[in-house]
């Protein structure tokens, strides 16, 4: 005889809730913008750099497949752009300056976004919370440790990219069906579209500063897509989904 088994009461309504980190839980892009200003200043005496941002972005995009996301790849792309702009006559001390501003980024303090701690505190224990972030492993581990948010998470996933397959693998590894999974983040391209593609729900929290590479069109008419202004609205949405 088989008996239908209901999940234990405490499991009922429990979701896997994925959180992006950079510019969802803590500030990130602002440090890239400040660094780009410092980079432009370091080159001011050596070249006309009116299209510096475009050239730097082009170098980053060229190098993504080799360097991956993160500050170390960004630093190498700054050096490459500087060589390009100076016809390879970049003085050594400017290379040293670029390396230094890259290291400063790797030391930047972790600045939590509003309601980050309170939201995680409210959700911990009620849902399975998983941090899903991409970038340099070492840098993401540093920021997580400095954030003090680590204890709220049941799992940490530092991945090289966020594709539909990345999310399918994460959901499968946690043994949770995609329709019981929700991802929260500031990037339509990385945190929202591939998640919806994998069959889960997604909550978009726009950030004023989002890297142009992460821009994408908003999904239309998808009942599993939500948009809120900040993290404090997340528990209410999860309650509706659960």
* Minimum CB–partner distance for residue 22 and Mg ion (Å): 4
* Minimum CB–partner distance for residue 24 and Mg ion (Å): 5
* Minimum CB–partner distance for residue 25 and Mg ion (Å): 9
Give me the 21-40 binding string for Mg ion, x by CB under 5 A, dash otherwise. -xx-----------------
* Minimum CB–partner distance for residue 188 and Mg ion (Å): 10
- SS3 readout for the chain: CCCCCCCCHHHCCCCEEEECCECCCECCHHHHHHHHHHHHHHHCCCCCCCCHHHHHHHHHHHHHHHHCCCHHHHHHHHHHHHHHHCCCCCCHHHHHHHHHHHHHHHCCCCCECCCHHHHHHHHECCEEEEEEEECCHHHHHHHHHHHCCHHHCCEEEEECCCCHHHHHHHHHHCCCCHHHEEEEECCHHHHHHHHHHCCCEEEECCCCCCCHHHCCCCCCCCCCEEECCCHHHHHHHHHHHC
Question: Quick check: 147 binds Mg ion (CB under 5 A)?
Answer: no
Complex with Mg ion: residue 16 or 205, whichever CB lies closer: 205
* Minimum CB–partner distance for residue 191 and Mg ion (Å): 6
Of 17-25, 38-46, 176-184, 223-231, the window that binds Mg ion (rule: CB under 5 A) is 17-25
Complex with Mg ion: residue 17 or 98, whichever CB lies closer: 17
Of 14-22, 69-77, 165-173, 230-238, the window that binds Mg ion (rule: CB under 5 A) is 14-22
Query: Rg of the Cα trace of the chain?
Result: 20
Q: Which of 42, 75, 166, 186 binds Mg ion (CB under 5 A)?
A: 186
Question: Quick check: 136 binds Mg ion (CB under 5 A)?
Answer: no
Size of the site for Mg ion (CB under 5 A): 5
List residues near Mg ion by CB under 5 A.
Answer: 20, 22-23, 186-187
């Amino acid at each position: 005889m088989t008996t239908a088994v209901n999940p234990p009461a405490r499991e009922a309504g429990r979701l896997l809730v994925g959180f992006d980190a950079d510019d969802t839980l803590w500030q990130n892009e602002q440090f890239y913008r400040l660094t780009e200003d410092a980079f432009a200043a370091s080159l001011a005496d050596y070249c006309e750099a009116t299209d510096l941002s475009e050239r730097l972005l082009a170098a980053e995009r060229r190098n993504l497949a080799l360097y991956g996301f993160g500050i170390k790849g960004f630093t190498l792309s700054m050096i490459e752009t500087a060589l390009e702009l100076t016809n390879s006559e970049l003085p050594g001390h400017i290379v040293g300056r670029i390396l230094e501003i890259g290291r400063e980024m790797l030391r930047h303090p972790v600045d939590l976004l509003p309601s980050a701690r309170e939201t995680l505190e409210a959700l911990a224990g009620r849902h399975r919370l998983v941090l899903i972030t991409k970038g340099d492993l070492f840098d993401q581990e540093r920021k997580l440790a400095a954030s003090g948010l680590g204890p709220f998470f049941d799992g940490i996933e530092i991945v090289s990219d966020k594709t539909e397959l990345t999310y399918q693998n994460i959901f499968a590894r946690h043994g949770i069906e995609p329709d019981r999974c929700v991802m929260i983040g500031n990037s339509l391209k990385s945190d929202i579209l591939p998640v919806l593609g994998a069959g889960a729900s997604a909550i978009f929290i726009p950030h004023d500063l989002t890297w142009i590479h992460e821009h994408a069109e908003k999904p239309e008419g998808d009942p599993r897509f939500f948009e809120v202004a900040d993290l404090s609205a997340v528990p209410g949405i999860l309650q509706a989904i659960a």
